[in-house]
Chain A
Amino acid sequence: MLYREAGDFKTTYKADSQTFPIAFDRWRYWAVLAVAWLVIPFVINDYWANAILVPFLIYAIAAIGLNILTGYCGQVSLGTGGFMAVGAYACYKLMTSFPDVSMLVHILLAGGITAIVGAAFGLPSLRIKGFYLAVATLAAQFFLVWLFNKVSWFYNYSASGQINAPERFVFGHAVTGANTTPAAQYLICLLFVTGCALLARNLTRGTIGRSWMAIRDMDIAAEIIGVDPLKAKLTAFAVSSFFIGISGALFFAVYLGAVEVGEAFGINKSFLVLFMCIIGGLGSLFGSFAGAAFLVLLPVALKVLGVDVLGWPTQIVSHLQLVVVGGLIMFFLIKEPHGLAQMWRHIKEKLRLWPFPY
């Protein structure tokens, strides 16, 4: 009824192979974009920007990045935090070295630098697989954090080792620094989220994406049918790191404004983004968004519910958060191993037949 193909005729190959073949899906997609671009910027305030929407959008980019590597190409990575740090520090060095250049350029360049670093750390993936690759990327995580702590050139020799985002502009509007409006903060993140999601969607539907998935499903078979593992794996590492670098740059410059590498980009961040991918659903873009929303919103929602509504002591609520989030992760992994994205697929199947299931 709500969601069906009946009566939705395709007359061209282009129409047949579009991203959202079902009309309801297309409308939903445009409606989400319209609300995100045309409604939220006018109603957003500091709290919603800084506590909910900006971190959600930034983590969504990181989750898309990791999903490309882990979900689409099957290469497990625990180096996400380290690659985000590369993006953040690259952005900081660019911001302070070329203050007059637009932030958009800096963020894209930071992503590019991270892509190079990511591809370099992806080289071991040609020889090792699975858990061993996870350990190799774990080494990247620890090495990168150590590097940014040790070499003071990266933090411009400041006494504290912190990096602070000075005020920088996009078309005359401040997007970093203290005087940024919540709408500007939100819009720059939304711009990159939209761009990254479109890019990722189209990459995964094309030749490169298919070669990634071939490698994921069985690398030897893929090689036999003519997929070059070197090219497929390294492009996956590069594209994934490009997205993660962008998210790291936004995380530092737009969201927090000041970071300390060990605290902001430690191993916990790698796990957090990996959990987002797993809970959301590996190999699904919708899953990246759902996973990021789940792990960003749930703690805030539990806090608001526990402390502000029920008036419980803060430490109880904080401990409860760990229990509830952990419990829900286990629940999802048992009940729905393919994540929230699979749940969404089930709902869509049901909607297709509703109200007359057979």
Chain B
Amino acid sequence: MKFTTFSAAAIAGLMAANTAAAELVIPDLSYRTGPYAAGGIPFSDGYQDYFALLNARDGGIGGEPVRIVECETGYNTEKGVECYEATKGEGALVYQPLSTGITYQLIPKATADGIPIHTLGYGRTSAAEGEVFNWVFNYPGNYWDAASVAVNYLLDENGGDLSGKTIALVYHNSAYGKEPIRTLEELSAKHGFTLSTLAVDHPGQEQKSQWLQIRRERPDYVVMWGWGVMNQVAVQEAANVGFPMENFIGNWWAGAEHDVTPAGAAADGYKSLNMNRIQDYPVLDEIQTMVVDAGLAAGAGDNLGKVLYVRGMYAAMLAAEAIAKAQEIHGVSDITPAMMRDGMEALEITEARMTELGMGGIGPEFSVNCQNHGGSGEGLVQQWNAADGVFVPLTDFIAPDDSVIDPLITEDAMAFAAENNITPGCL
């Protein structure tokens, strides 16, 4: 009996959801529950609040209001697929799944359905090859860029020579964590450092043995590809084994406030990469007054200005700019996903434009074209100041070593094209 009532409700819900609307629909595949919620919540808040700001301040983009459709994935691929199928019928313009696993699922589906995917610094690295992955964008950077930026930073610290040094990679034992290994292997051959890899299984609460191994081997540097609860545990374990924090570098998904605060003062000096500089932006004040104080915030409003909040906002800004670009190219304000793709492919982010938007210096300058969907790949290094509770940018944006990464991307993309009978080309 229960089933019939529930399925009747399900059908009613689907019918209600399928009513057409003349607005810009942006699905937000968020995760506010589960072991990765600590990262998912601030990102989703930032992503939604920026669109809420555009709606409140400018009446949307090009006169069209933005409608956010939130769907909880719990970082789970099955729920991600369900969310994708449930939201795509509403005219979704671009997907931002914030999960490498879900991205792998969605790449073939969204390509077949003609809906662009934006994976901001995550997802499938070789999607930077725009001629093979026409509908997938991973600007402004990808995992291999991040690995190279980290190594370039270490090169810089060591006077350009890493030979004889040991770098340990602590990684999440999943598609996400395994991505940088190939690049780091190439870089270790090129620069003469020794790479050792230590896998941490999902969700990452159990890391005693990995850190005991680090304590025994005493690598010069530890690089970490972590997400969710794994980061907090790793920082705490590093403090427990007395590993010097200034030699511990997380990637840009392992460097947010909630990752380091549980370890308290012991986390002071922890470094991480970042693709969006943390500082006071005028746009954050606008969000505070026009969104949070007006009661329109997606979350509790307590994440404003945090690392992942700013990154979510940055992702929303890139989507909004692409929508504006698409509206400009096609001369209509109510754009389709195909037009959105054209807008993303013609996207150009300049310092002047970022300053105009009230977030000068937030990210690197880059432009997208048909061949390159990956942006500049630049990242900066930031360091945790436990006393003040802020991440302080240590460097300006550092460029990755394209001579190593580009051939790897081409190789992987061509293998994908061959496997799936894709003839590379522009749309």
B148 touches A (CB below 8 Å): no
B72 touches A315 (CB 8 A): yes
Q: Of residues 1 to 37 in B, which have CB atoms within 8 Å of A's CB atoms?
A: 3, 6-7, 9-10, 12-14, 16-17, 30, 32-33, 37
A263 touches B178 (CB 8 A): no
Residues of A contacting B421 in the complex (Cβ-Cβ under 8 angstroms): 167
Contact of B71 among A149, A260, A314 (CB under 8 A): A314
Residues of B contacting A317 in the complex (Cβ-Cβ under 8 angstroms): 72
B81 touches A301 (CB 8 A): no
Stretch at the interface among A13-21, A128-136, A190-198, A303-311: A303-311
Stretch at the interface among B82-90, B322-330, B397-405: B82-90
B108 touches A177 (CB 8 A): yes
B57 touches A (CB below 8 Å): no
How many angstroms from the CA of A219 to the CA of B76 in the assembled complex?
Answer: 41
A258 touches B104 (CB 8 A): yes
Contacts A178-B108, A179-B112, A314-B30 given; indicate if A262 touches B179 (C-beta within 8 A): no
A300 touches B (CB below 8 Å): yes
Contacts A167-B421, A314-B71 given; indicate if A305 touches B6 (C-beta within 8 A): yes
B77 touches A (CB below 8 Å): yes
B209 touches A (CB below 8 Å): no
Residues of B contacting A55 in the complex (Cβ-Cβ under 8 angstroms): 78
How many angstroms from the CA of A259 to the CA of B7 in the assembled complex?
Answer: 29
Interface centre among A159, A164, A293 (most CB of B within 10 A): A159
Q: Of residues 75 to 96 in A, which have CB atoms within 8 Å of B's CB atoms?
A: 96
A50 touches B (CB below 8 Å): yes
Which residue of B is nearest A146, CB measured?
B201
Which residue of B is nearest A164, CB measured?
B104
A329 touches B (CB below 8 Å): no
CB 8 Å contact bits of A158-190 with B (1 = contact, 0 = none): 011110101100000000011100000000000
B338 touches A (CB below 8 Å): no
* Chain A interface bracket (under 10, 10 to 19, 20 to 34, 35 or more): 35 or more
Which residue of B is nearest A290, CB measured?
B3
A264 touches B82 (CB 8 A): no
A256 touches B (CB below 8 Å): yes
B140 touches A (CB below 8 Å): no
Residues of B contacting A318 in the complex (Cβ-Cβ under 8 angstroms): 32-33, 72, 74
A159 touches B173 (CB 8 A): no
Contact of B182 among A159, A258, A262 (CB under 8 A): A159
A47 touches B14 (CB 8 A): yes
Can you offer 22 A-B residue contacts whose CB atoms are under 8 A?
A47-B14, A47-B89, A50-B81, A159-B125, A159-B179, A159-B181, A159-B182, A159-B412, A160-B124, A162-B101, A179-B112, A256-B77, A260-B175, A262-B173, A263-B76, A263-B174, A263-B202, A301-B7, A302-B6, A314-B71, A315-B72, A318-B33
Q: Of residues 87 to 126 in B, which have CB atoms within 8 Å of A's CB atoms?
A: 88-89, 100-101, 104-105, 107-109, 111-112, 124-125
B100 touches A259 (CB 8 A): no
A149 touches B173 (CB 8 A): yes
Contacts A159-B412, A160-B124, A314-B30 given; indicate if A297 touches B7 (C-beta within 8 A): yes
A309 touches B420 (CB 8 A): no
Which residue of A is nearest B199, CB measured?
A149
A178 touches B109 (CB 8 A): yes
Q: Tell me the smallest distance from the CB of A3 to a CB of chain B, in Å.
A: 17
B388 touches A (CB below 8 Å): no
B157 touches A (CB below 8 Å): no
Residues of B contacting A260 in the complex (Cβ-Cβ under 8 angstroms): 77, 101, 104, 174-175
Residues of B contacting A126 in the complex (Cβ-Cβ under 8 angstroms): none
Which residue of A is nearest B172, CB measured?
A262
How many angstroms from the CA of A317 to the CA of B31 in the assembled complex?
Answer: 12
Residues of A contacting B237 in the complex (Cβ-Cβ under 8 angstroms): none
The 5 closest A-B pairs by CB, nearest first: A178-B108, A315-B32, A178-B112, A160-B175, A301-B6
A127 touches B (CB below 8 Å): no
Q: Tell me the smallest distance from the CB of A256 to a CB of chain B, in Å.
A: 6
How many angstroms from the CA of A293 to the CA of B4 in the assembled complex?
Answer: 12
Residues of B contacting A315 in the complex (Cβ-Cβ under 8 angstroms): 32-33, 37, 72
Q: Tell me the smallest distance from the CB of B410 to a CB of chain A, in Å.
A: 13
Residues of B contacting A178 in the complex (Cβ-Cβ under 8 angstroms): 108-109, 111-112
Residues of A contacting B419 in the complex (Cβ-Cβ under 8 angstroms): 96, 164, 166
Q: Of residues 235 to 287 in A, which have CB atoms within 8 Å of B's CB atoms?
A: 255-260, 262-264, 266
A353 touches B (CB below 8 Å): no
B70 touches A (CB below 8 Å): yes
A258 touches B12 (CB 8 A): no
Residues of A contacting B12 in the complex (Cβ-Cβ under 8 angstroms): 309
CB 8 Å contact bits of A41-58 with B (1 = contact, 0 = none): 000001100110001000
Q: Of residues 117 to 152 in B, which have CB atoms within 8 Å of A's CB atoms?
A: 124-125
Q: Tell me the smallest distance from the CB of A253 to a CB of chain B, in Å.
A: 12
Q: Tell me the smallest distance from the CB of B131 to a CB of chain A, in Å.
A: 18
Residues of A contacting B125 in the complex (Cβ-Cβ under 8 angstroms): 159
Contact of B33 among A257, A262, A297, A319 (CB under 8 A): A319
How many angstroms from the CA of A304 to the CA of B181 in the assembled complex?
Answer: 40
B6 touches A309 (CB 8 A): no
Q: Tell me the smallest distance from the CB of A328 to a CB of chain B, in Å.
A: 9
How many angstroms from the CA of A167 to the CA of B100 in the assembled complex?
Answer: 21
B77 touches A308 (CB 8 A): no
A298 touches B (CB below 8 Å): yes
A304 touches B85 (CB 8 A): no
How many angstroms from the CA of A50 to the CA of B124 in the assembled complex?
Answer: 22
Residues of B contacting A297 in the complex (Cβ-Cβ under 8 angstroms): 3, 6-7
